[in-house]
Chain A
Amino acid sequence: MRSRGFGSFISAVVIAGVVLWSFVTTDVEMTRLAAAGPRIAEFLGRMFPPDPSVMDEIVRGSAETLRIAVIGTLGAILLSVPLGLLASGTMAPPAIHRPVRTVLAVIRAIPLILVAMLMVGAVGLGPLPGIIAVAFHATGMLAKFYAEAIDGVSPAPLAALESAGAGPLARLRHAIWPQMAPVVARDTIFRFELNLRESLILGIVGAGGIGFYIQTYVRSFQYDKAASATLAVVVMVVAIEAFNVILRRRFS
Chain B
Amino acid sequence: MSVAAQIDDVSFAHSSVDAPALAHVSLSLPAGGIVALLGPSGAGKTTLLTLLDGRLRDWRGRVSVLGGSLDPDYPPPRALRPDTGFVFQEFALVERSTVLRNVFNGRLGRMSPLRAFLGSPTERDIQVARSALDDCGISDLADRRVDSLSGGQRQRVAIARCLAQEPRLILADEPVSNLDPTRAAEILTLLTEAARARGATVLFSSHQPELARRFAQRIVGMRDGRIAFDVPVSDLSEDAAADLYRDAAQMSGTGLKVVT
A-side residues, CB < 8 A to B, are: 154, 156-157, 159-167, 169-170, 173-175, 178-179, 181-182
Secondary structure at the A interface, as helix, strand, loop or mixed, is: helix
Residues of B within 8 A of A167 (CB): 78, 108, 113, 116-117
Chain B nearest CB, measured from A102 CB (Å):
28
Determine which of A157, A164, A174, A182 lies in contact with B82 in the assembled complex, contact meaning CB atoms within 8 Å: A164
21 contacts between A and B (CB under 8 A): A154-B95, A156-B92, A157-B93, A159-B55, A160-B86, A160-B88, A163-B81, A164-B85, A164-B86, A164-B105, A164-B106, A164-B107, A165-B79, A165-B81, A165-B108, A167-B108, A174-B105, A174-B108, A174-B119, A179-B96, A182-B96
B-side residues, CB < 8 A to A, are: 53, 55, 75, 78-82, 84-86, 88, 90-97, 101, 105-111, 113, 116-117, 119, 158, 161, 165
Verify A166–B116 contact, CB threshold 8 A: yes
- Report the bound CA distance from A170 to B95 in whole Å: 17
Q: Given A174-B101, A182-B96, are A163 and B90 also a contact pair (CB < 8 Å)?
A: no
Verify B116–A170 contact, CB threshold 8 A: yes
Residues of A within 8 A of B90 (CB): 156
Determine which of A156, A165, A179 lies in contact with B88 in the assembled complex, contact meaning CB atoms within 8 Å: A156
Chain B nearest CB, measured from A148 CB (Å):
17
- Report the bound CA distance from A160 to B82 in whole Å: 11
* A160, A164, A169 — most chain B CB neighbours (10 Å): A164
Residues of A within 8 A of B101 (CB): 174, 178
Verify A164–B165 contact, CB threshold 8 A: yes
- Report the bound CA distance from A181 to B111 in whole Å: 24
- Report the bound CA distance from A231 to B92 in whole Å: 52
Verify B116–A160 contact, CB threshold 8 A: no
- Report the bound CA distance from A169 to B114 in whole Å: 9
Verify B78–A179 contact, CB threshold 8 A: no
Verify B84–A178 contact, CB threshold 8 A: no
Nearest chain B residue, comparing its CB with the CB of A170: B116
Verify B105–A160 contact, CB threshold 8 A: yes
- Report the bound CA distance from A157 to B86 in whole Å: 11
- Report the bound CA distance from A167 to B84 in whole Å: 16
- Report the bound CA distance from A167 to B77 in whole Å: 11
Nearest chain A residue, comparing its CB with the CB of B75: A162
Total inter-chain residue pairs, C-beta < 8 Å = 87
Verify A166–B109 contact, CB threshold 8 A: yes
Residues of B within 8 A of A179 (CB): 94-96
- Report the bound CA distance from A162 to B86 in whole Å: 10
Verify A163–B53 contact, CB threshold 8 A: yes
- Report the bound CA distance from A173 to B117 in whole Å: 6
Q: Given A165-B78, A174-B108, are A157 and B94 also a contact pair (CB < 8 Å)?
A: yes
* A154, A159, A174 — most chain B CB neighbours (10 Å): A174
Nearest chain B residue, comparing its CB with the CB of A156: B92
Nearest chain A residue, comparing its CB with the CB of B97: A178
Chain A nearest CB, measured from B159 CB (Å):
12
Nearest chain B residue, comparing its CB with the CB of A171: B108
Nearest chain A residue, comparing its CB with the CB of B89: A156
Verify A164–B117 contact, CB threshold 8 A: no
Residues of A within 8 A of B158 (CB): 160
- Report the bound CA distance from A179 to B92 in whole Å: 12
Verify B93–A163 contact, CB threshold 8 A: no
Verify A164–B161 contact, CB threshold 8 A: yes
- Report the bound CA distance from A122 to B79 in whole Å: 55
- Report the bound CA distance from A156 to B106 in whole Å: 14
Residues of B within 8 A of A175 (CB): 94, 105
Chain A to chain B: the 4 pairs with minimum beta-carbon distance, closest first: A165-B109, A165-B81, A166-B108, A156-B92
- Report the bound CA distance from A163 to B75 in whole Å: 10
- Report the bound CA distance from A231 to B79 in whole Å: 64
- Report the bound CA distance from A173 to B119 in whole Å: 8
Residues of B within 8 A of A169 (CB): 113, 116-117
Verify B92–A160 contact, CB threshold 8 A: yes
Q: Given A156-B90, A173-B117, are A165 and B110 also a contact pair (CB < 8 Å)?
A: yes
Residues of A within 8 A of B111 (CB): 170
* B91, B105, B113 — most chain A CB neighbours (10 Å): B105
Chain B nearest CB, measured from A205 CB (Å):
43
Chain A nearest CB, measured from B51 CB (Å):
12
